[in-house]
Chain A
Amino acid sequence: MIIVCGIPAIVGSGLLWELSEKWSTVYGYLFLLAATLLVFLLAPQLKQGHQAASEAVESSPRFYVWLSVLAAFIFLAGYALIASLVLSMEILEFSLQIPWATLVSSYTWLVVAGSGLCIINALGGVFGMHRYEMMSKRIVFLSLTTIMFGLMFILFHLGRPERMPIQNAISPNFRSAIAWMGMLYNIYLVIVVVELWLLIRADLAERAEQAEGWKRDILRLLALKDLNDSRLGGILQKMRLDRLLYHPRLHRILDDPRLPRITATMAFITGVAALTMLGSVFAHAEARALWYGPYYPIYFLVSALFTGYGVLLAATIITYRVKGEEMSSESKALMFEMAQVLALLLAVGFALTSYRLVTGLFDPLRQGPTLFILKGPLSPAFWIFEVGLMSVLPSFILLRAAKKKSLGGVLAGSLMVLVGAFVMRYLFLVGGQIYPNTFPRFSADLPTILPSYMPTITEVFLIVGIFSGFLLAYTLGERFLPLKEEGPEHA
């Protein structure tokens, strides 16, 4: 009960603080009303779940509390969005000197992790490692949700998001990295949806056999099984969709055993290409001394791998913990193997960072930016988060956990990597724009006035809301889709 009352209280007090500033009282109260209504709507469910006292997490009160917390944060994001539309976009990213800020850094964090998951999935899907293949449903689903919600950050960052799909289709600029990145991620999303559908199709058909009524029909339709005897089948026949959906040639392609591997290969190629173009978005900008050069496309690939492993390990272990299930011995062995690979990748990433910094010290063009990272105002973010929390500490923790077979250690290490990587992206993005374009450039001895940036409260609302949306999507996917690892007994 404390949690149920506490969340609206925290949210409400935050809102009051926000409203006391000066503006948009109406929208604030509307939000408050919506959040309260939501909690009331969920209350019977909560009670019911409590009375059932079932062992399963899905019907326990904490599941509904978790959902309502996420929904409240999503409402907050909606409030921030509406306020930005009604008032001005200044309440989201107000800085003129630093136009790409926390929204874009969160975007890179999430989307690069999703692309890393796509590369990891290729280990099973393309290179044929069975132990990765048994995790492929979770990997593909995570990759889809991370990239979808990551692109949502960009959507809200853009001034005119409604123009993007149209203009990107009718007049793309093939010299622009953003245009390529957008196109490739869109193609990638389509391929990943097909890949996920292929993976869960058999399970949907199996569920259709157990279900009854309209549920059965919809599940059968989703699995593209025969619908002749049902009402939905009649509707499809009337609309003449059945000829397309049940065309024998289409089904010959769908039943081809090589198809999963082909889609995984296509997803791997487009995902890696999109990720390289995402790195190039920053690396092409010659006017930004910190970003420019062929280094960042490479580093984005490596950091995609370690953040992808981090997301995968953390999501899997937390899911098992929350559900209170015991992991199969194969899955456990894979967790520890992945922890070791993650430690290796962190070492590779750290070696790349050191290479960049050491060569930067001797390069007259890059000396300034390098010193800015090492000694500038954002240097604590570099030394504590990027070096300490992202590279050095988790490597030792992960290796030790893998040796001692402790899943808790692996979880701690991967969470550290994720937190460190978030700050690393922020440092990369905001630091790159703070570094001055005027002389005298930054030097450690001289006091220099740099452009300042601090996220606004609405910006924080939006970011937390989108992350909550991602968590909600994963929670619901875990609830309704068969993402569990398949041991040999299921194969």
Chain B
Amino acid sequence: MDRYELITDRNTDLTANSWVVVNLRADSDNRTKRHYQHWACQHCERPACAGVCPVTAIRKLPHGPVVINENKCIGCRYCYQACPFKIPRFDFAKRVTRKCHLCYNRTPLLNYMKPACVAACPVGALAFDYRSEIIKEAIKRVTNLTRPSYILGLTEAGGTDMITILPAEPKNMGLVVAPKKVVNHTLDKIRISASGFMAASVIAGGMYFYSKPTKNRDAGLGDK
């Protein structure tokens, strides 16, 4: 089965200017059913992108959104490599990376103004609230449904601030699959870099043993 078979006639990819897309997708186990599916930055609780941005242009704001400061971004695209959902897109005209910022400038006070997509949704499919409230709402909606469902964002990448109800598991929907743990933990990074430093000390030792026994051979070259 090919991933592209899951993608139906309505498939748009995220771009630097369209930060939220709604695609019509099929479940690979049950091809007859097709569902609209909302896809945007998932606003991880422990964002990997913020951890790797070399100039701290990406920040997790206290009320949830993960925001790129476009006046600071140097356009290295490391956030794209680190992102477990592969969300950030490089804007070739502005030369910075851009993505959904959950309308952080509309929602400084919770529930004062909703994000644009929530405010625009005519049928109330999207909701904006505290994470715990949204999870309660998601569980309520899932229990009311007769078909099997999957709640995306409870454990993916250590939990995200975007909770999506999917009709099937993300891997059957042709979505990018994130591990169910915190991605790019700082301790994990230290572990990986430490292996390099250990190898460096091994190489230094090897160089010492290479230089020591052959030093006498250089006696003829003279001591400066």
Contact = CB atoms under 8 A, between A and B. Distances in A.
Interface of A: 88-90, 94, 96, 99-100, 119, 122-123, 127-131, 133-134, 157-161, 163-164, 167-168, 171-173, 175-179, 182, 272-273, 275-277, 279-281, 283-288, 293-295, 297-298, 300-302, 305, 330, 341, 433, 436-440, 446-449, 487-488, 491
Contacts of A295: 195
A178 B204 CA distance: 24
B124 interface: no
Interface stretch (B32-40, B100-108, B133-141, B181-189): B181-189
B45 to A, nearest CB: 16
B125 interface: no
B131 interface: no
Given A301-B196, A439-B177, A177 B74 contact: no
B63 interface: no
Interface centre among B93, B192, B197, B217 (most CB of A within 10 A): B192
Contacts of A449: 2-4
B74 A158 contact: yes
Contacts of B9: none
Interface in B73-93: 73-78, 80-84, 86, 89-90, 92-93
Interface of B: 1-4, 13, 15, 48, 51-57, 72-78, 80-84, 86, 89-90, 92-97, 171-172, 174-179, 183-184, 186, 188-189, 191-197, 199-200, 203-204, 207-208, 210-212, 214-215, 217-218, 220-224
A43 to B, nearest CB: 40
A285 B81 contact: yes
Contacts of B194: 294
Given A131-B221, A287-B86, A173 B54 contact: yes
A178 B192 contact: no
A36 B96 CA distance: 36
Given A280-B192, A438-B175, A178 B84 contact: no
B224 A94 contact: no
B121 to A, nearest CB: 26
A491 B86 CA distance: 59
A371 B222 CA distance: 54
A288 to B, nearest CB: 6
B177 A298 contact: no
Contacts of B54: 167-168, 172-173, 176, 178-179, 182
Contacts of B86: 287, 437
